[in-house]
Structure 1
Amino acid sequence: MAWYVSGLLMLLSILILMGIGLPIAFTFMAVSLFGAYVFMGGMFGLEQVVANASTAVSSFSLVPIPLFLLMGELFFHTGLAMRIFKSIDVLIGNMRGRLAYLSVISGTIFAMLSGSSMANTALLGGLLVPEMERQGYNRRIAIGPILGAGGLAMIIPPSALAVLLGSLAKIDIGALLIAGIVPGIVLAASYIAVIFAKIKFDPDCVPDVAPTSHSVKEKFQAIFLSLLPVSLIIMAVLGSLLGGFATPSEAAAIGAIAVFLLALSLGLVTLRVIAKSLIATVKVSAMILMIIVASSTFSQILAFSGISANVVNGTVSILDGQIAMMLGMLVVMVLLGMFMDQISMMLITIPIFIPIANTLGFDMVWFGIIMLLSLEVSLLTPPFGLALFVMLGVAPSGTTLGEIIAASLPYTACIFALIALVIVWPELATALPGLMM
């Protein structure tokens, strides 16, 4: 069977199984098992899949995933997220468009503690959009900043997706996590700039400043009882990574323990909270480990059948130069993002893109950041961007998908602008990991 026929059959099988609603992990596992049987010698191929599975999931580099997930689950289930949200609101005080700025600032801090874009979007959307609508905010400025800020968890550490990408693509996970700090902060700043510009040129999109009064005592409590302890946790996790004092696994353990101890000291820990956090962590971790098994097998089948080599050689011969190749891969990611979730995109593209990137001599940390940013774009691309539907689920009744898509456009443009900036100025992503090394 010709390699392109094999590749087309595998791709069609994936699309059909996903189309009928089979979960991602089971889809890729089914196709991988079939491919192993056909291309790797029948039962011998299936035995090889079993051998590869134990090797794939026993890697020490995967330890940060459940620990970062546990850190995020504790952060949300204990109510720490709400305390931080209210504390930031107290400190912002009287400011035109206060709630729009609050969504970006809160989303950035939540991203540094949870690593979950969907959870951030759902929490901020459920809390802020109805309140902004009640106060008279334009619907676009109520929804847009939350869509943008929710996606920051995909690039700012502790990003579970960054750990998964690093594991699948064999990129240094610690360097990849650190590399996301500066682009993430730049992206958050660009969102704030968009809000400022919109209010400047269209003052009627937000209501007049409502007088609020917070005592010095309330502000003191907001800083020293909520924000300072959380800031110390963030600095402990990121500082230990930046300083080279801890591996990603150790930094994740520090973060999970620190969040637990902070919640315990505030009386927010109960057996029910612990149970919910652990169950959610185990569910997601099990799904990710199964995806890793399927992905490693899928990559081997692509290599064994000759699909990877032929696609890499053909693509390199057609697209001449690093920039042209990068733009071609970005176009593919954007198109896939219109119809697929982030993990499916990674599983399909990594076996092809990583060999191409290695062939062309890309800095893999830099390339990983660009992939994460393109995955972040896919959260907001219609018709099936996940963040769009999460927002549709928590927004006030009467909100249409068209309104949500329109609200997301300026923030999607910010991500594209950042991708261009990282391509032109790679040091934006590589400087911090370089200092760490």
Structure 2
Amino acid sequence: MAWYDALFLLIGMVIGLMALGVPVAFAFMATNLAGALIFIGGESAILQVVDNSSSLITRFQLAPVPFFIFMGSLFFHSGLAIRVFDTLDKFFGRVPGRLCYVTVAGGTIFSTLTGSSMANTAMLGSLMVPEMQRRGYHWRMSLGPILGTGGLAMIIPPSTLGVLLASLAGIDVGRFLIAGIIPGFMLACFFAVLITVQIWMNPKLTPNYEIERVSLRRGLKLAVTNIAPMGLVVFMVIGLIIFGVATPTESAAFGVAGVLILSIIFRLFSIKVVKDSMLSTIKVSAMVFFIILNSSIFSQLLAYSGASAGLLGFATSFDVSVGAVLVMIFLALLLLGMFMDPVSIMLITIPIFFPLVHALHIDPLWFGILMLISLEMSQTTPPFGLLLFVMLGVAPKGTTLRQVAFAAAPFLACDLVLVGLMTLFPAIVLFLPGLM
């Protein structure tokens, strides 16, 4: 079978099954079984798939995933997140549009403690939108910052999606997580600047209202009490990796321990909190590992059938610049993101794009961050951007998809600015991993 026939057959089966409503993981599993029978044949094909499965999900590189998910669940279910937002709200005082800045600051902190964009967007939406609507904020200012900041959890470590991408692409997980720090915080700063410009251009977007005055001494006390401890947890997760003290798995375990200790200190710990967090972790982790298993087998089938090598040869046969190839990949990811979720996109594209990246001598760390940013942007692009629908689920009744997408558009422009700067200055991504 020609390589292009094998490629269209495998990818066509996956897309066709998902179009019929089959869950992503099961669509890949069915494709893997059918592909193994076609390209390997006989009973040995099924045995080969089964033998490969256990080794694919028992790799040490995947150990941080359940820890990061558990840490984020504890942070949310214990109520520590609400303490952070309440403190930030008082700290910003009478700044115009202060709740927008609170959203960006709090969402960035929450990103470093969850690793889930869906959880980030859902929590920000449920906490901030009702309050901003009650205060009289324009819908653009109540929805846009949340959609922009919600996606930061894909980039800022610990990113569950980042761990998944690094594992599937064969990149060092610790170095890849650290590579997202500077781009993630630069993006948060861009969001704050954008909000300032929007308010300056149209002050009516944010209301003026009386709030309780908080003295500098009390504000600092609240910051030290409620925000500084979270910084310690962030250091336990990120700092230990940067300084080489701990592996990603060990730092993730330290992070869980840190959140547990904080919940006990603030008297927010309970058996129910642990139970709810563990149940959430088990459900999400099982889904992630099942997806990794099926994706890895899918990659092996692409290689065995000759589809990967054939596509790589075809893509490198054109006399085009590396920049043109990157632009086409970037646009392809955005296009796929309009109709598919990030995990599905990663499952399909990583076995195709990363061999091409290596052939073009592009740094895989840099490209991985570019891919995460592309996926983050794709989640806020209509018609099927996942974060758009998460926001619709927590937004006030009457909010339309058009309003949500329009509010997100300026924040997508910030992503494009970051991509441009990363292209001009790759050190934005590569500097911190280079220190490790």
Name the TM tier (shorter chain).
over 0.9
1:128 aligns with 2:128: yes
Report the TM-score, using the length of structure 2 for normalisation: 0.98
* Aligned equivalents of 2:87, 2:385: Cα separation in 1: 31
Q: What is the Cα deviation at residue 192 of structure 1?
A: 0.4
Matches within 5 A, 1:102-251: 102-215=102-215, 218-251=218-251
- Measured against aligned partners, the alpha-carbon deviations of 1:164-221 in whole angstroms (never above 9, x if no partner) come to 1110000111111000000001100000011000111111111124332235675244
Using the TM superposition, give the Cα deviation of residue 41 of structure 1 relative to its aligned residue in structure 2, in angstroms: 2.4
Equivalent-residue separation in structure 1 for 2:120 and 2:319 (angstroms): 38
Structure 1 range deviating more: 40-49 or 185-194? 40-49
Which residue number in structure 2 is paired with residue 325 of structure 1? 325
Shift, 1:327, TM fit: 1.0
2:36–2:301 contact (8 Å) kept in structure 1: yes
1:371 counterpart residue number = 371
Which amino acid is the alignment partner of residue 133 of structure 2?
A: E
Whole-Å Cα distance in 2 between the matches of residues 209 and 420 of structure 1? 39
Report the equivalent of 1:292. 292
Q: Secondary structure at the match of 1:317?
A: coil
SS at match of 2:316: helix
Contact 1:78 1:273 in 2 (8 A): yes
Equivalence for 1:260: 260
Q: Deviations over 1:82-121 (max 9, x none)?
A: 1111111111111100111111011100001111111111
TM-score, normalised via structure 1 length: 0.97
Q: Which amino acid aligns with 1:106?
A: G
Letter in 2 for 1:427: A
Q: Does 1:427 align with 2:427?
A: yes
The gaps in structure 2 that reach 5 residues or longer are none
- 1:286-307 deviation line (CA, Å, top 9, x unaligned): 1111111101110011111111
| Aligned amino acid, residue 92 of structure 1 | F
CA distance in 2 between partners of 1:17 and 1:221 (Å): 56
- Preserved contact between residue 129 and residue 395 of structure 2 (Cα < 8 Å): yes
CA deviations on 1:67-95 (whole Å, 9 max, x unpaired) are: 11111010001111111111111111111
Deviations 1:393-420 (A, max 9, x none): 1001111110000000000111122112
CA distance in 1, matches of 2:287, 2:395: 28
Cα distance in 1 for partners of 2:157, 2:122 equals 19
Q: Per-residue displacement from partner, 1:342-383 (whole Å, max 9, x unpaired)?
A: 000000000100100111111111111111111101110110
Q: Which range moved further: 261-270 or 191-200?
A: 261-270
Q: Which moved more, 1:15-24 or 1:407-416?
A: 15-24
Q: Single out whichever of 165-174 and 321-330 deviates more from structure 2.
A: 321-330
C-alpha contact (below 8 Å) 2:69/2:115 kept by paired residues = yes
1:20, distance to aligned residue in structure 2 (A): 2.4
Residues of 1 paired with 2:313 and 2:424: CA distance? 25
Matches of 2:11 and 2:237 in 1, distance apart?
Answer: 40
Kindly report which structure 2 residues correspond to 1:292-371, keeping only aligned pairs within 5 A, or say none: 292-318=292-318, 320-371=320-371
Describe the superposition over 1:291-335 as per-residue Cα deviations: whole angstroms up to 9, x where unpaired.
111011100111111111111111111262321111111111011
User: Could you say which residue in structure 2 is the equivalent of 1:24?
Assistant: 24
Partner of 2:88: 88
Q: In structure 1, how many angstroms separate the alpha carbons of the residues matched to 2:96 and 2:269?
A: 36
Amino acid at match of 1:432: L
**2:77 corresponds to which letter in structure 1?**
H
Letter in 1 for 2:284: V
Deviation at 1:225, TM superposition (A): 2.1
Asked whether the equivalents of residues 90 and 218 of structure 1 are also in contact (C-alpha less than 8 Å), the reply is no
Paired residue type of 2:292: I
In structure 2, the residue corresponding to 1:262 is in which secondary structure?
helix
Aligned partners of 2:355 and 2:15: how far apart in 1?
23
Q: Tell me the distance in 2 between the aligned counterparts of 1:137 and 1:261.
A: 37
- SS at the partner of 2:317? helix
2:13 corresponds to 1:13: yes
8 Å CA contact 1:319, 1:325 repeated in 2? no
SS of aligned partner of 1:48? helix
Q: Is the 8 A contact 1:171 1:364 kept in 2?
A: yes
- In 2, Cα distance between the equivalents of 1:211 and 1:319? 62
Structure 1 residue runs of 4+, over 6 Å off?
A: none
How far did residue 141 of structure 1 move?
A: 1.2
Report SS of the residue matched to 2:402.
helix
1:171 partner SS: coil
- Report the Cα offset of residue 66 of structure 1: 0.5
CA distance in 1, matches of 2:216, 2:182: 33
On the 8 A contact 2:141/2:407 being kept in 1, the answer is yes
- In 2: Cα distance, 1:319 partner to 1:107 partner: 44
The farther-off stretch of 415-424 and 163-172 is: 415-424
Identity of aligned residues (%): 48
Partner of 1:70: 70
Q: Is the 8 A contact 1:316 1:325 kept in 2?
A: no
| 1:236-274 CA-partner distances (Å, limit 9, x unpaired) | 221111111111111101101110111012111111111
Q: Deviations over 1:25-77 (max 9, x none)?
A: 11111111110111122221211111111111110000100011111010001
CA contact (8 A) 1:96 1:209 kept: no
Deviation at 1:424, TM superposition (A): 1.9
Please give the alpha-carbon distance, in whole angstroms, between the structure 2 residues aligned to 1:43 and 1:55: 20
Q: Do 2:3 and 2:311's aligned partners in 1 also have CA atoms closer than 8 Å? A: no
- The unaligned stretches of length 5 or more in structure 1 are none
C-alpha contact (below 8 Å) 1:233/1:259 kept by paired residues: yes
